[in-house]
């Protein structure tokens, strides 16, 4: 099962809004520009100090031919949180939503048909002020670009292999709750080593006890226990509040009537009691896990492509692609 979706192919226009902390409002209303390289000072805050955060969300072709983006206000709110973690002012929701709408419309011709993929949007905010002292500065750039993507996994879903890491993804009290670029930079070596070992993704345990599951290098995780309970690690400050995670919890509890527990999840409990284990996120949606490599050997998951994981995935995808009702108003139609 090979990941194939994120071959970058920028399409349409890019939305750009400039920010200045000494101005009111801080961010301009923004406008579409051609996708192109742009100049930035060699001492820009983002280059020295990693003053950067981002989001990822998807636009889906609907049965009537229109477009809808999945839960953009949730992403807008999280980006404000991430920006604040880096001492940057947050982009107003109306600017974020307007940018998503404009980019989606500019990419209309390349948005795949239902079932064939989606348009991935990448909002990105970073510090552009030339600065040497350790600071986020007062000038920022916010932009959104789009790229059509296929379904994340090609071929039949057979389950992925996770490899538990020796190190931690983030430290308690740090930036783990925010979608900051630095958190992803910290996983790059692990991603390289996991791929070299023939596995698919890195799985991280907590920094203190090295016994409790947190998340993968880029996804939240869920376990389905023998008694049917669904367990996902609690948002403790070191785990990203995933939009897909939040959506699956709601579907599991409210639509499927499952018991969902948000709590610490020991790796020992996963290995002894879990019958299903899966990752989730904007890119992967739901990715069933077949094996976990820990303590120098592989441990098989009894139901590598289990019924709970696949039911959750199907319900979410049906909603996103307009085949199911949307009682919670998660889909934002592109006007």
Dump pLDDT digits (tens) for 140-172: 999 999 999 987 655 456 899 999 999 999 999
- Its CATH class, for the domain covering 2-154, is alpha beta
CATH 3.20.10.10 matches 160-320: yes
Q: Are 95 and 17 in contact (CB under 8 A)?
A: yes
pLDDT value, residue 11: 76
H helix runs in 213-329, sequence order: 243-250, 267-273, 307-320
Distance from C-alpha of 229 to C-alpha of 72, rounded to nearest angstrom = 29
Residue 188's contacts (CB-CB under 8 Å, 6 or more residues apart) are none
Q: What is the mean pLDDT of residues 41-45?
A: 98
Per-residue pLDDT band for 4 (boundaries 50, 70, 90) equals: very low
pLDDT value, residue 156: 55
Residue 224 has pLDDT above 80, yes or no: yes
Per-residue pLDDT band for 253 (boundaries 50, 70, 90) equals: very high
Residue 210 has pLDDT above 50, yes or no: yes
pLDDT value, residue 157: 64
Q: Are 195 and 97 in contact (CB under 8 A)?
A: no
Q: What is the mean pLDDT of residues 18-25?
A: 97
pLDDT value, residue 5: 45
pLDDT value, residue 125: 98
Q: What is the mean pLDDT of residues 95-107?
A: 98
Q: Which of 288, 4, 45, 25 is nearest to 150 (CA)?
A: 4
Residue 6 has pLDDT above 60, yes or no: no
Per-residue pLDDT band for 1 (boundaries 50, 70, 90) equals: very low
330 phi-psi bin (left φ>0, alpha ψ -120 to 50, beta other): alpha
Indicate the domain borders of the chain: 2-154, 160-320
Domains 2-154 and 160-320 share a fold: no
Residue 300 has pLDDT above 90, yes or no: yes
Distance from C-alpha of 125 to C-alpha of 90, rounded to nearest angstrom = 9
Beta strands at 285-294 and 297-300: parallel, antiparallel or unpaired: antiparallel
pLDDT value, residue 7: 53
Q: What is the mean pLDDT of residues 89-111?
A: 97
């Amino acid at each position: 099962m090979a990941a194939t979706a994120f071959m970058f192919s920028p399409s349409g226009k890019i939305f750009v809004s400039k920010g200045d902390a000494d101005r009111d409002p801080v961010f301009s209303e923004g406008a579409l520009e051609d996708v192109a390289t742009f100049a930035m000072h060699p001492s820009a805050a983002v280059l020295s100090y990693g003053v950067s955060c981002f989001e990822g969300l998807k636009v889906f072709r609907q049965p009537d031919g229109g477009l809808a983006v999945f839960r953009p206000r949730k992403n807008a709110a999280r980006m404000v949180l991430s920006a604040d973690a880096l001492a940057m002012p947050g982009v107003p929701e109306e600017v974020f939503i307007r940018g998503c709408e404009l980019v989606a419309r500019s990419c209309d011709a390349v948005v795949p048909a239902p079932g064939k993929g989606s348009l991935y949007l990448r909002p990105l905010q970073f510090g552009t002020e030339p600065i040497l002292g350790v600071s986020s500065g007062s000038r920022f750039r916010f932009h959104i670009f789009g790229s059509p993507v296929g379904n994340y996994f090609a071929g039949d879903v057979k389950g992925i292999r996770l490899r538990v890491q020796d190190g931690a993804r983030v430290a308690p009290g740090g930036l783990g709750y925010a979608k900051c670029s630095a958190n992803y930079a910290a996983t790059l070596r692990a991603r390289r080593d996991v791929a070299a070992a023939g596995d698919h993704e890195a799985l991280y345990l907590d920094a203190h006890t090295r016994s409790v599951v947190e998340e993968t290098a880029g996804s939240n995780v869920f376990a389905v226990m023998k008694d049917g309970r669904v367990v996902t690690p609690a948002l403790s400050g070191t785990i990203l509040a995933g939009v897909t995670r939040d959506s699956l919890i709601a579907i599991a509890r409210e639509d499927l009537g499952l018991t969902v527990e948000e709590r610490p999840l020991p790796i020992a409990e996963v290995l002894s009691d879990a019958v299903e284990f899966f990752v989730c996120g904007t890119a992967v949606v739901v990715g069933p896990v077949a094996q976990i490599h820990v303590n120098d050997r592989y441990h098989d998951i009894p139901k590598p492509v289990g019924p709970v994981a696949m039911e959750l995935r199907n319900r979410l995808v049906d909603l996103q692609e307009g085949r199911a009702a949307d009682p919670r108003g998660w889909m934002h139609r592109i006007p």
